[in-house]
Chain A
Amino acid sequence: MTEFLQQLLNGLSLGAIYALIALGYTMVYGVLRFINFAHSDVFMVGAYIGYYAGQHLPVGTLGGGLLVLLAAMAGCSLLGMAIERLAYRRLRGAPTLNVLITAIGVSLFLESAGQAVFGAAPRTFPMVFPVRNLRFAGLAVSSNQLVVIAVAILLMIALQLIVFRTRIGTAMRAVSLNPRAAQLVGVNLNVVISFTFGLGSALAGAGGVLYALNYPSIDPLMGVMPGMKAFVAAVLGGVGNIPGAALGGLILGTVETFVNGSQWSTYKDAIAFAILIGILLFRPAGLLGRAVPEKV
């Protein structure tokens, strides 16, 4: 029983990270209808920003840790908006295939540039938050895991508030429903799209720092697998749906953890993709999504 609960706890903290990254994917897809492949590499850049920030800011304190988190979120936000401005803006209206290929190109560029600049060998991420190992009822929890869960929940609540209670959030929702109509009622498409990218990338940056806190070894390719799994989580929950991304992340994290702890652990990479294929075959709209019929 203890093992089950412990695995559940492990799954929750892993799932929280997948949820954070999935939120970025889902937001961009909701507004622009394409998968931003480069998202997972923005996540990686967030971890590296956190690494370098951690060397200049006081670490080991709550304040220091929060500063590092904010630095990573701000840096990634700018990066995301720059990518949108330079690579994606000209392709608005182009066939989705072209945008997809460009996204792959940006992703590859960030990965290979990262390898050239940072070196491919892994680096140790500093412990920017104070670390305590807690034990209760036979379960072991690291304070970093709790930080991840807490920050993820807070960011998700903040995101919900922004999307549903602010003007720019309403504009985002309008653009995701019908971009032309939104422009007709005066929404500035460029501003909204930039903001969406900025917000999604900030979440990715936060995810990067939180991931690096729990798994302190960072390298330029660290975003590839978590990115793909987070995308699966987004699809699982229903792409374009914020609570869906959170739910998808939690489910995927938990399932993966249980598979990892069992005798089938060698297949664990395949599990995420099997889930993706399954959900696309049987319930393409995702668990919380609604099937939208395609108008011809």
Chain B
Amino acid sequence: MPKPLLALALALLVALAVSHFGDRIDPYFLDVLIGVGINITLAVSLNLVNGYTGQFSLGHAGFMSVGAYASAAITVLLGPRLLGDSGGTTVQQGWLFFAALLAGGAGAALAGLIVGIPSLRLKGDYLALVTLGFGEIIRVVFQNVDALGGALGLNGIPNYTTVFWVYATVAVTVFTVVCLVRSTYGRGFLATRDDEIAAESVGLNTTRYKIAAFVIAAFFAGIAGGLYGHFKLTITPTGFDFTKSIEIVVMVILGGMGNTPGVILAAILLTVLPEFLRPVEQYRMIVYSLLLIGLMLLRPQGLFNLNFGALVGRSRRRAALPPASAQPPAA
């Protein structure tokens, strides 16, 4: 079995194991663990767009909200009808949840398509603002849909999210993004980022890559949204606003755009740190913003941009070098 697939299977097994012992873990710790997983999914998916394809999207929370509302609509509105009064067995609930998550992802992917297509001609700043605008439009739309709760939001969402679902999602997301980018097809993303005009001139359809990046990232953001909804049990339109998008962007930037391990580390750090900083919660945003500015000025490649490959390569090469006393062949 190829290595990445093996890693994926292993990750799924670990997630299942941890989930089994979920009852014995302190609920607050479990809470944070699930939060970390959801944020990793969001950050890694955004990294595909911002980091690997070089398109600056500021509306990721909008896709998350589409996924959250779509999946919650299924479990809250359709669930009772499908599962019956008893609420169904755990297995049935699991399948319903799985279907709801996929539907959320699909809905978000569709939104990604709708957002992606018009935004393609735009560069840099304009793209950022248009994605931000779309995020706001999505929020306004949800506020006006009374069937989904309107301003009050959707409550009474069943508590289906477990560590297994979250980390299974994380594993699949990381697997997809990393394998995609390392594949031959995936070179196109990097080419689009590095120099769009040059890529076009060698025949690459950068438009298709940009749309693909948007759609795939939106899909995973939608699933993360579904997980979030069934975790917080209540979702409101204002909970997925510009501030949430910025939080995810900070994770991507801190980790180093286009650096998946770094982004994962950054997501973990930025989810866990606020819990420790609860007493000084109101200064959190100040620290975040200074972090952003400082990073851009001093280390734009990100804090965690540790080049693992080069480190490993260097130590291997050192071991392979002949001892210093070896004589060069006689001239």
Instruction: Judge if B286 is at the interface, Cβ distance under 8 Å.
Output: yes
From B124, B286, B290, give the contact of A100 (CB < 8 A): B124
B 280-314 to A, binary, CB cutoff 8 A, 1 in contact else 0: 00110110111111001100100000000000000
Tell whether, in the assembled complex, residue B137 and residue A91 are in contact, meaning their CB atoms are under 8 Å apart.
no
A88 to B136, CA, bound (A): 28
With a cutoff of 8 Å between Cβ atoms, the chain A residues found around residue B249 in the complex are: 101, 104
- For chain A, give the interface size range: 35 or more
Tell whether, in the assembled complex, residue A116 and residue B286 are in contact, meaning their CB atoms are under 8 Å apart.
yes
Residues 82-130 of B at the A interface (beta carbon under 8 Å): 118, 121-122, 124-126, 128-130
Instruction: Judge if A106 is at the interface, Cβ distance under 8 Å.
Output: yes
Q: Which 8 A-B pairs have the closest CB atoms?
A: A105-B292, A273-B133, A112-B285, A108-B289, A109-B289, A105-B293, A270-B140, A102-B296
From B130, B197, B286, give the contact of A113 (CB < 8 A): B286
Instruction: Judge if B134 is at the interface, Cβ distance under 8 Å.
Output: yes
The residue of chain B having its C-beta at the shortest distance from the C-beta of A272 within the complex is: B133
From A34, A106, A109, A116, give the contact of B125 (CB < 8 A): A34
Instruction: Judge if B141 is at the interface, Cβ distance under 8 Å.
Output: yes
Tell whether, in the assembled complex, residue B290 and residue A266 are in contact, meaning their CB atoms are under 8 Å apart.
no
The 26 listed contacts between A and B (C-beta, < 8 Å) are: A96-B124, A96-B125, A97-B124, A100-B124, A101-B253, A105-B291, A105-B293, A107-B289, A108-B288, A109-B290, A111-B285, A112-B283, A112-B286, A115-B285, A224-B242, A228-B132, A235-B126, A269-B140, A272-B133, A276-B129, A276-B130, A277-B130, A280-B122, A280-B130, A284-B122, A296-B197
Tell whether, in the assembled complex, residue A284 and residue B121 are in contact, meaning their CB atoms are under 8 Å apart.
yes
The residue of chain B having its C-beta at the shortest distance from the C-beta of A276 within the complex is: B133
With a cutoff of 8 Å between Cβ atoms, the chain B residues found around residue A35 in the complex are: 125, 128-129
Instruction: Judge if B165 is at the interface, Cβ distance under 8 Å.
Output: no
Which residues does A use to contact B, with CB under 8 Å? 34-35, 87, 90-91, 94, 96-102, 104-109, 111-113, 115-116, 224, 228, 231-232, 235, 266-267, 269-270, 272-274, 276-277, 280-281, 284, 296
With a cutoff of 8 Å between Cβ atoms, the chain B residues found around residue A101 in the complex are: 249, 253, 292, 296
Instruction: State the main secondary structure of chain A at its contact with B.
Output: helix
A274 to B115, CA, bound (A): 12
A235 to B122, CA, bound (A): 13
Tell whether, in the assembled complex, residue B124 and residue A105 are in contact, meaning their CB atoms are under 8 Å apart.
no
From A87, A107, A115, A266, give the contact of B143 (CB < 8 A): A266
Given A109-B290, A112-B285, A115-B282, residue A102 in contact with residue B297 (CB < 8 A) = yes
With a cutoff of 8 Å between Cβ atoms, the chain B residues found around residue A280 in the complex are: 118, 121-122, 126, 130
Tell whether, in the assembled complex, residue A94 and residue B300 are in contact, meaning their CB atoms are under 8 Å apart.
yes
Nearest CB in chain A: distance from B21 CB, A:
39
Nearest CB in chain B: distance from A58 CB, A:
35
Which residues does B use to contact A, with CB under 8 Å? 54, 56, 118, 121-122, 124-126, 128-130, 132-134, 136-137, 140-141, 143-144, 197, 242, 246, 249, 253, 282-283, 285-286, 288-293, 296-297, 300
Instruction: State the main secondary structure of chain B at its contact with A.
Output: helix
Tell whether, in the assembled complex, residue A273 and residue B296 are in contact, meaning their CB atoms are under 8 Å apart.
no
With a cutoff of 8 Å between Cβ atoms, the chain A residues found around residue B291 in the complex are: 105
Tell whether, in the assembled complex, residue B130 and residue A270 are in contact, meaning their CB atoms are under 8 Å apart.
no
A115 to B56, CA, bound (A): 27
With a cutoff of 8 Å between Cβ atoms, the chain B residues found around residue A90 in the complex are: 297
Nearest CB in chain B: distance from A55 CB, A:
25
Given A96-B124, A113-B286, residue A104 in contact with residue B246 (CB < 8 A) = yes
Given A109-B289, A296-B197, residue A98 in contact with residue B296 (CB < 8 A) = yes
From B133, B143, B285, B297, give the contact of A277 (CB < 8 A): B133
Given A100-B56, A276-B133, residue A116 in contact with residue B296 (CB < 8 A) = no
Tell whether, in the assembled complex, residue A266 and residue B129 are in contact, meaning their CB atoms are under 8 Å apart.
no
A231 to B132, CA, bound (A): 12
With a cutoff of 8 Å between Cβ atoms, the chain A residues found around residue B134 in the complex are: 273, 277
Nearest CB in chain B: distance from A45 CB, A:
15
A96 to B55, CA, bound (A): 12
Nearest CB in chain B: distance from A196 CB, A:
17
Nearest CB in chain B: distance from A265 CB, A:
11
The residue of chain B having its C-beta at the shortest distance from the C-beta of A29 within the complex is: B125
Question: Can you name 9 extra interface pairs (CB under 8 A) apart from A35-B128, A273-B133?
Answer: A90-B297, A94-B300, A101-B249, A102-B297, A108-B292, A115-B282, A116-B286, A270-B137, A280-B130
